[in-house]
Amino acid sequence: MPRITPLSPEDTPAETRIAYNQHTLDYNARITNMKATLAHSLPAFKAYMEWYPLYEEVKMILGTRLSPIFAWCISEAADCPLCSTYFRKIIIESGEDPEVLLLSDEEQMIVSFGAAIARDKGNVDDTVYEPISKRFTEREIVVLTAFAGIMIATNVFNNVLHTEIDEYLFPFRSRKSLDAPEH
């Protein structure tokens, strides 16, 4: 059960509805339980929706296949069932099984970097960071690290407030999230 009730469309303040409309136009995105919860605060909604332009930059760096895998491994390491399920959906719909991903050494390096950022609260070991620093530019590392940070913030928001997994994501839940106790 969520700790904060997502706002219904009729209870959402007018200026937030305007932000919703712009968001859905800009990103062809739905208003999810997380976004409806963020609707309690327009500045909070706007801050978290900066995830979208940053993710577009990540896709330019990592490509469309590795970007959701990167986000998924961060969410898995942060133990966020909602975000993990969202990215499982993208991975599964692209024809892969998140539980048995076939990754090149370079792809594994990215996955390890993302997971380490979340798991180790940003204290990434040199053995994980050094290969990243050799492969990516400083700008790209800043984008990847900033994205990991906003992804972790999203994970924290959903975990703290027990944001419920949206119904459209139910078929993509992992065994781990199905076995987890309800909030």
CA dihedral angle for residue 80, residue 37, residue 41, residue 19, rounded to 10 degrees: 100
Task: Using the predicted structure, report yes or no on whether residue 125 has a pLDDT greater than 60.
Answer: yes
Instruction: Give mean pLDDT, residues 141-145.
Output: 98
Contact 147, 60 (CB under 8 A): no
Average pLDDT of the chain to the nearest whole number: 95
Q: Domain 63-177: give its CATH superfamily.
A: AhpD-like (1.20.1290.10)
Task: Identify the H or E element spanning 177.
Answer: helix 175-179
The single residue listed with the structure tokens 């975000």 is: 83
Gyration radius of the chain over CA positions:
17
The single residue listed with the structure tokens 């380490």 is: 116
Count how many residues are written for the chain: 183
179 pLDDT band, cuts 50/70/90, is: low
Residue intervals of the chain classified under CATH 1.20.1290.10 are: 63-177
CA dihedral angle for residue 99, residue 103, residue 166, residue 160, rounded to 10 degrees: 90
Task: Using the predicted structure, report yes or no on whether residue 178 has a pLDDT greater than 70.
Answer: no
Distance separating alpha carbons of residues 70 and 60, to the nearest angstrom: 13
Tens of pLDDT, residue by residue over 50-108, are 999 999 999 999 999 999 999 999 999 999 999 999 999 999 999 999 999 999 999 99
> Would you state the pLDDT for residue 175?
74
Tens of pLDDT, residue by residue over 3-40, are 999 999 999 999 999 999 999 999 999 999 999 999 99
The single residue listed with the structure tokens 């904060």 is: 4
